[in-house]
Amino acid sequence: MNKIKIISLILFVALVKITVAQNNLTLSDVIHLAHGQSLSQKKVDNAFENKYWQYNSFKKLFLPKVNFEGTLPDFNVGFSQVVQPDGTVSFQRTSKMSSNASIAINQPIKWTGGNLFLSTNLLRFDWLGDSPFTSYRVNPFYIGFSQPLLKHNPYKWSKKIEPLVYEESKRMSIEQSEDVSREAVRLFFSVLSNLSRYEVAKLNKRNSDTLYQISKGRYSLGKIAENELLQIELTTLNAEKSLAQSALDVRVSEQALKTFLKTPYNQALNLTIEEELPLKVVDVQKIVSLARNHRSEYVAYERRLLESNRELDKVKKNNSFNADLFVAYGVSQTASDLESSYQNPLGQKQVKLGVKVPIYNWGLSKSNIKQQQANSELIENQIEQDKKNFEQQVFIIASQFNIMSQQVTISQKAMVVAKKRYEVSKQRYLIGKSDLLTFNNSLQERDLAIASYYQTISEYWLSFYNIRKLTHFDFVNNKEIKVSEFNGK
């Protein structure tokens, strides 16, 4: 054999090994695939991306804004009011055109709720008709400041609440990712459980066929009654029916897992259970403490309190004395040509203070404030109750987890014992030392024990990832689970 053939054979063998290895999927492999390519994880990522841009927009809200506004042009032919030399007004048909352009810079003041602005403006006016003329008006600069006095400041409250909204979304992203893991666990063990039932159904079918053939021989010799033979025949038919149904269940559950993982439908899956359990016992108080420090609910509690206080502040200030201060200064000039309009500008000043004082509204303001105070108190009490309920729930879940590994061990042993008892019962029945009822009981107990094992180990893994979801903690690598920050691209 030449070198090229040898090399080709080696590559072929290596490729086969790699392919086989890729088809052997443990639970960890399935979860890794789910986080890498499932639509469920992409939905989690998209939701977090949405919250990232929402928070990014909030931060940009307090940066200076530069805007251009213009009308180029505004042409108007019609009747207009024309002031006469004696002061009277005459409606005359006119033709006129105007154009204007302005650039303004606005800077919100988050600490006070005010707004600082700077602008420049140019206006050209053309009178058309029998005596046409052109006029320019310019404002080289105009600077001002508007400030609500004793009013509700939405900027101040947004500065407190929006970071909490973003932090809550980060924590929820972790929890939703753990839900993706839990869904992967559910689908993984659904396939394994159905495969187990399918293997059991095949075994039952073979055994039933064997027993039926033996029983027919015994019946012909008069060793068993016709009723017992019919019972065995019915068992054989039920075994055939169960085999067909379990084969369908395997295909349906495999397709569900492939759909979830976005893998090709024609790709074979070879799932294997990891025998070693990663976590057997947890410190319940530590779990409660980790949940208190990391869960999104606790950020939501703080956010809800702030939102309640914000609404109370808004109601109080909107139903009491408040005022608006406006101060501005600039220069302006007019001329018949553009160059002259920038010469010798004249000052332009404006100071305005508007007030609003509720005098009497039949107690409406007081009622609004009392209503919001009662609502805020209700929210505080509800949050306190929610905290207690949540911590109790975490305590129960952690306590239940501490018996899960023991339950897995017990159910595994029970499955082994039930299988052994079934084999003994089958052999005894074959040699005529046991009745059909005892054999059927051992068969049912074996099937139940196998189903119970897969159900128990599935519940363990679901509980394991629920503990991760509650604590945001990776107990295998002994580190906190953190969300991958979105890079904003």
Domain annotation for the chain: domains and CATH numbers: 28-57+159-281+402-480 (1.20.1600.10), 68-109+114-152+323-357 (no CATH)
Q: Where are the beta strands (DSSP E) in 65-193?
A: 65-83, 89-109, 114-128, 133-149
Strand partners, 108: 115
Q: How many CB atoms lie within 10 A of CB 249?
A: 18
How do beta strands 322-335 and 346-356 pair? antiparallel
Q: How far apart are the first and last CA of the chain?
A: 55
Tell me, what's the pLDDT at 438?
Answer: 82
Q: Give the percent of the chain with pLDDT over 90.
A: 46
Separation between Cα atoms, residue 335 and residue 134, nearest integer Å: 9
Q: What pLDDT, in 10s, does the model give residues 10-47?
A: 433 443 343 334 458 899 999 999 999 999 999 999 99
Residue pointed to by tokens 């012909």? 220
215 pLDDT above the threshold of 50: yes
The mean pLDDT of 423-449, rounded to a whole number, is 81
| Residues near 440 by beta carbon (within 8 Å), at least 6 away in sequence | 235
**Where residue 488 falls among pLDDT bands split at 50, 70, 90?**
low
Tell me, what's the pLDDT at 245?
Answer: 92
**Where residue 446 falls among pLDDT bands split at 50, 70, 90?**
confident
Residue pointed to by tokens 């397709």? 255
Q: What pLDDT, in 10s, does the model give residues 164-196?
A: 999 999 999 999 999 999 999 999 999 999 998
Alpha-carbon torsion (31, 32, 36, 42), positive or negative: positive
The mean pLDDT of 410-417, rounded to a whole number, is 92
The mean pLDDT of 37-63, rounded to a whole number, is 92
Structure tokens at 190: 């659904």
The mean pLDDT of 413-426, rounded to a whole number, is 89
Separation between Cα atoms, residue 144 and residue 105, nearest integer Å: 11
5 pLDDT above the threshold of 80: no
**Where residue 349 falls among pLDDT bands split at 50, 70, 90?**
confident
Tell me, what's the pLDDT at 487?
Answer: 64
